[in-house]
Amino acid sequence: MTLGSYGQFCPVAMAAEMLCTRWTIVLVREMVAGSTRFNDLRRGVPRMSPSLLSQRLKELEVAGIVSRGPADDEPGVQEYRLTKAGHDLQSIIEAFGIWGQKWIETQATLENLDPSLLMWDMRRNLDPSPLPDRRTVISFLYPELAGGRRHWWLVVEPFGDVDLCSTDPGYDVDLWVTTNLRTMTEIWMGLARVDQVRDKIQFEGDPAMASTMQTWLGLSPFSSQSKLVH
Amino acid sequence: MTLGSYGQFCPVAMAAEMLCTRWTIVLVREMVAGSTRFNDLRRGVPRMSPSLLSQRLKELEVAGIVSRGPADDEPGVQEYRLTKAGHDLQSIIEAFGIWGQKWIETQATLENLDPSLLMWDMRRNLDPSPLPDRRTVISFLYPELAGGRRHWWLVVEPFGDVDLCSTDPGYDVDLWVTTNLRTMTEIWMGLARVDQVRDKIQFEGDPAMASTMQTWLGLSPFSSQSKLVH
DNA sequence: CAGTATCCTATCCGATACTG
DNA sequence: CAGTATCGGATAGGATACTG
């Protein structure tokens, strides 16, 4: 029996042996959410060192959870895809998320604010359908933050691709949103609705887009578990 | 931010921070299964050192997952009970178990055989209702094992309490079961049915009890996920 | 029975730098 | 961009003994 094994035949223990190592669940979450390339994974798990990320990906490959291969569209670039067993982990990730959203103190959650993570998740879940049928640019400004963490742009391309920039991409901006990181995170997590914190957000630009923000801004997959405070 | 934290506001990460430390999931599994006292927990998680068990219980208490207090029936004895948040972890444990049973190689599972763990789980899930309405004793013998791991007794009391002994309790035995640990584990996990491995089990004693073993022997909670090999 | 205390080391991990 | 290599240090946790 390997050291580090639990030595139990129970399937719970066997699964935990594989999945309950540092960063693994968070990494799988990022893959379930759709990231496939090394540097995309890094953006979703920014505090994980690249060597550990690389190591975990190999372990997951050996375990049959991840398969590695050239990207379909861009050969020469490696992609990490979930296998069937990997996709089945979605139920575990969901169980974690639902439990976490329900039972972890909101207080603790809001001590872990991170604008790059927030914007990266917002990018992923933004719903382009209520937006104009052309390139649309939304700028987010967090005045309390410094340097490259202060200003962000979401660029929604005509066919729904969304890009995240932390330097000005140079396009005309349709809507400027100025708020603080905590408020924006509360909205994303479903702890507040835009209309409830209107006094903490300033809009400039297209008033229609401003007033419909709650519809095109996607929320966290677990937001529905929260009992909307305020 | 504490070292050891993921620094993410995502509920998945927050929950993983709490639950993905060594032994924690396996311990919670044992609590979800019903154990409440320190030494019962030890039997379910035998390879965990008592100091680590004690430490984990304290952490779970701080996290609001476990509450500690005197036993209802036996004051003076401490009991560890799951709080409401703790009971909600059942969905996570189930997700682990279902995934593990489905995707972990049977081979790997059967490398972690452990008679005390198996008997402890069998004790818990045994269904007394098909058995005679009196004290019933079933003896299990694993000839390939040595010493105290070789011989076990399940004592089913009239009102359905089941005791596990590894030394002869002295009662008349109704049924002797002789088999090997791998076969018995396969049955428990739902990888085989009694009638499929009849040639690997010897019965002596009450023939009616022998022939209905599949009905009173409870199976692993995850056995239904397995596609019955052989 | 129900834990606590102590010690010690393996290993995991973080940081950083480097490469094709 | 997509990783690998190296290194050092903290710490988690294993083993064991002990206590009320």
Per-residue pLDDT of A75-118, as tens digits, reads 788 899 999 999 999 999 999 999 999 999 988 889 899 999 99
Protein CA A46 to sugar C1' C16 (Å): 16
Least confident of A87-91, A107-111, B155-159, B213-217: A107-111
Q: For chain A, what is the HEC assignment?
A: CCCCCCCCCCHHHHHHHHHCCCCHHHHHHHHHCCCCCHHHHHHHCCCCCHHHHHHHHHHHHHCCCEEEEECCCCCCCEEEEECHHHHHCHHHHHHHHHHHHHHCCHHHHCCCCCHHHHHHHHHHHCCCCCCCCCCEEEEEECCCCCHHHCEEEEEECCCCCEEEECCCCCCCCCEEEECCHHHHHHHHCCCCCHHHCHHHCEEEECHHHHHCHHHHCCCCCCHHHCCCCC
Strands (DSSP E) contained in chain B are 66-70, 78-82, 136-141, 151-156, 162-165, 175-178, 202-205
Residue B2: per-residue pLDDT: 57
Q: What are phi and psi of B134, to 5 degrees?
A: -155, 180
Q: What is the pLDDT of residues B171-191, one digit of tens each?
A: 999 999 999 999 999 999 999
CA A177 vs. chain centroid, Å, equals 20
Best CA proximity match to B83, nearest among A222, A103, A93: A103
Q: How many Å apart are CA A18 and CA A216, to the nearest integer?
A: 37
Mutation pick from B88, B98, B99 vs chain A, by most beta carbons of A within 10 Å, is: B99
As a whole number of angstroms, the distance between CA A163 and CA A215 comes to 19
pLDDT of residue A2 exceeding 80? no
DSSP category for residue B230: -
Give me the pLDDT at residue A229, please. 54
Eight-class DSSP state of B212: T
Q: What is the pLDDT of residue A230?
A: 47
pLDDT at A58 over 70: yes
A14·B112 Cβ contact <8 A: yes
Q: pTM here? A: 0.95
Residues of B in contact with A16 (CB under 8 A): 25-26, 96
In 3-state terms, what secondary structure has residue B94?
helix
Q: What is the pLDDT of residue B29?
A: 97
Q: How confident is the model at residue B157 (pLDDT cuts 50, 70, 90)?
A: very high
Q: Which tens digit of pLDDT belongs to each residue from A141-155?
A: 999 999 889 999 999
Q: What is the pLDDT of residues B101-136, one digit of tens each?
A: 999 998 888 989 999 999 999 999 999 999 999 999
SS3 B221: coil
Q: Are strands B66-70 and A202-205 parallel, antiparallel or unpaired?
A: unpaired
Residue B165 tokens, joined: 């002994």
Burial class (CB in 10 A: 0-12, 13-18, 19+), A135: middle
Q: Out of A11, A25, A112, name the one closest to residue B9 (CB).
A: A112
Which segment of A2-16, A27-41, A176-190 scores lowest on mean pLDDT? A2-16
- Pick from A47, A96, A114, A219 the residue to mutate for testing the B interface (most B CBs within 10 Å): A96
Query: B223: distance to nearest CA of chain A, Å?
Result: 10
A4: left (phi over 0), alpha (psi -120 to 50) or beta: left
Is the CB of B50 less than 7 A from some atom of nucleic acid strand C? Answer: yes
**What would you report as the CA-atom Rg of chain B, rounded to the nearest whole angstrom?**
19
State yes or no: pLDDT of B230 exceeds 60: no
Pairing of strands A151-156, B151-156: unpaired
Which residues in chain A have Cβ-Cβ distances shorter than 8 Å to B64? 103
- The overall average pLDDT reported for chain A is 93
Lowest mean pLDDT among A1-10, A54-63, B64-73, B175-184: A1-10
Work out the average pLDDT over A206-230. Answer: 89
Please give the protein residue whose CA is closest to the C1' of the nucleotide C12.
Answer: A22
When pLDDT is averaged across residues B160-164 and rounded to a whole number, the result is: 93
